[in-house]
Amino acid sequence: MITESLALGKRSLTKWTRNPFAVIVTSLQALFWLALFGNSFNPANAFPSTAAGSLGPLQQAFGGASTYITFLTPGVISIVALTGMSFMGVDLVFDRINGYLDVLRAFPIPRTSIYFGGVIQNVAKGMVAAPITFLIALLVPNGLKLAQGFGALNLLGIFATIALLTTVFSTFFTGIAISVKSTDSFFAAVNFLTFPIMFTSTAFFPLSFFPAWLKPVAQANPISLASDAMRLLVVNGTFSPAEVSAFIEDWVGLLIFGLAFALLGIAMARNALRAR
Amino acid sequence: MSKIIDAKGLTKIFQSSAKVVDGVSFAVEEGEIFSLLGPNGAGKTTTIRMLTTLTSITGGEASIGGRDVTKEPGVVRELIGVVPQEITLDNELRGTENLLLAAKLHHVPTSLAHKRAGELLRLAELGESGNNRVSTYSGGMKRRLQLVTALVHNPKVLFLDEPTVGLDVQTRTRIWDYIRQLNREQGLTILMTTHYLEEADQLSDIVAIMDHGTIKVSGSPTDLKESLHGDVLVLSVNDGGEDLTSFLKSVPNVTEVTRTEDSYRLKLPKVESALPAIIANIASRNLQITGTSFSKPTLDQVFLEVTGRSMRDAQDGGGNGRTDSYATARRSETK
């Protein structure tokens, strides 16, 4: 199954790299989030007396991040993963509409390899956007301020986390993409799901900003888990045992989501691709 | 020769729909070209989709190369190549890349896959275009590439669903040549659907005429046409009032003679075998033949005989509002 999944993943990636427009647009999405949202909605704007971009008295509430964009960057990386993974599945919808999916069903391959081919190519695409987002965050005015002692391990941890989050969303949205019959249904489902996921997360603001009734949802949201894990790596050069424990908890949460969505996606794919 | 496709009582009922295929039975011998001929809505595409494991079978059974389609779908998929009615190539990939992907998914070793891709591109006269993206190909080139893509793993049976639909006459003729070549040179068994009478007539060893989900009649195109008892010969004779009806009826194998004002209309199995004797006899009577014409029976006439309507009428709206295109068959499955 791995060979077939990789072959199908490679097919989509080959096409993707031949269309640089899609690569550029996906990657630059982060620029708008960081430069526009990061400055317009910057809570530091409420404290004009503080140094440019500094969160001032809010620094503690924002997990110790010295600037809002430092807090926001892990959130934006996660949001780009969410929006990227949700819409990239459209390839499979078009494959169904133009009959290609049907042709694949006539090959002697496990039907789940069609699903995993979609997951793999989406994750690979998503992983291109992550370092670009990180670079943009460093370059925008009042941008990302890395902690003293930030090193290769922190960077590796950030990309490992984003790979895991991308996989979580890819397993979920690829399952939807393989199940729907039309682009209308697909975009309706994606729009319906992405906004609640985005706005019930700690991508933009810390957990303490949420009303009590929404806190459990925000805490368990995969974007929150990934954002918080990455924030620990960005804001801290070194870690206390409590911070290591928090990081592991976030990862365990993401792994559970990934496994659950993969199982759900496999079931959806099998149902969608079986002979009727 | 042995049976490579064996269908017994194949039946398909889609949800809240009538029987689309109703107890269809047929066998295809190894190396044969077998056509399912019929108008839209006849059940041809659904039959082919059941045999290729894409649509479940409601009733009956089918095997390919002795392997049960329902019980061993994975093995069956190894044995077959499928060319759907629509172009389903990846337009953004190159011709070679489409072939190599198909080879990979059929578990053809990489080195062999490259060799095979080169051979198939040459076979389809696409050797020069293999490195171009499929989006730059003409309709005929795409159709040829799609055809050879299904052969990358050397299948035993090739399924072609309306292989030339929508193509111009010249391209259609070329595709026919490829189909004949594949059958002749590679001994490939081919099962195809078509609603083109000429296509079924020109290519097939055996034609099964389908209508309303059932096979009405099957046989070689020649046998089917001869079953109508023959050619029609029209003789215009300056007979000077002499009635030649009795003589013409006495000619061996002539089954029917009708005299009109200035000509005789004869029905007989083969005009070629009887014509010299007829001409000689009339000449011996010092009568002058002023004109002859003859027509061979067509598959359309066979269709008319077994269904009570011509294929053209059936195409124009006799399909009870149903259509049997590939896309429609797929849509039916998702209801």
- Tell me what ipTM this predicted complex has: 0.82
Q: Work out the angle at residue B312's Cα, subtended by the Cα atoms of residues B306 and B316, and round it to the nearest 5 degrees.
A: 120
pLDDT tier at A53 (50, 70, 90 boundaries)? low
d(CA B58, CA B302): 30
| The pLDDT of residue B328 | 52
pLDDT digits (tens, 9 = 90+) for A125-160: 888 888 888 888 888 877 788 888 888 888 899 999
User: Are A161 and A187 within 8 A, CB to CB?
Assistant: no
Contact A103 B52 (CB under 8 A): no
Query: Residue with structure tokens 């080959």?
Result: A14
Task: Compute the distance between CA of residue A3 and CA of residue A8 in angstroms, rounded to an integer.
Answer: 9
| Separation CA A235–CA A75 (nearest Å) | 13
Query: Would strands B206-211 and B214-219 be described as parallel, antiparallel, or unpaired?
Result: antiparallel
Is A46 domain-assigned?
no
- What is the predicted pLDDT for the residue at A34? 84
Please say whether the beta carbons of A78 and A162 come within 8 A: yes
Contact assessment for residue A223 and residue A198, using Cβ atoms and an 8 Å cutoff = yes
**Chain-chain contact of A11 with B93 (C-beta, under 8 angstroms):** yes
Minimum distance, in Å, between the CA of residue A106 and any CA atom of chain B: 6
> How sure is the predictor about B319, in pLDDT bands with cuts at 50, 70 and 90?
very low
Which residues of chain B lie closer than 8 angstroms to A7, CB-CB? 101, 104-105
Question: What string of DSSP letters covers B112-163?
Answer: HHHHHHHHHHHHTT-TTTTTSBGGGS-HHHHHHHHHHHTTTT--SEEEEEST
CA separation for the pair A72, A32 (Å, rounded): 12
In a domain, A50, yes or no: no
Residue located via tokens 């499928």: B82
To test the contact with chain A by mutation, choose from B105, B134, B145 the residue with the greatest count of A C-beta atoms within 10 A, namely B105
Size of interface A-B (CB pairs under 8 A): 71
Residue B90 is classified by DSSP as -
Nearest to B44 by CA among B251, B213, B231, B247: B213
Angle at B117 between CA B116 and CA B119, to 5 degrees: 65
Residues 16-55 of B with CB under 8 A from A: 52-55
Give the separation between CA B312 and CA A190, rounded to whole angstroms: 46
- Per-residue pLDDT, B268: 83
Give B-chain residues touching A109 at CB under 8 angstroms: 105
The total number of structural domains that make up chain A: 1
Residues of A within 8 A of B53 (CB-CB) are 105-106, 275
Pairing of strands B80-83, B157-161: parallel
Whether residue A167 lies inside any domain: the answer is yes
Structure token pair of residue B301: 């006439």
Supply the range of the domain harboring residue A22: 2-39+63-274
In this complex, do A18 and B92 lie within 8 Å of one another by their Cβ atoms? Answer: yes
Query: Given B97, B106, B327, which is nearest A108 (Cβ)?
Result: B106
Pairwise CA distance, residues A145 & A83, whole Å: 25
pLDDT digits (tens, 9 = 90+) for A70-108: 898 899 989 988 988 888 888 889 999 888 888 899 999
The whole-chain average pLDDT of chain A stands at 87
Other CB atoms within 10 Å distance of the CB of residue A110: 16
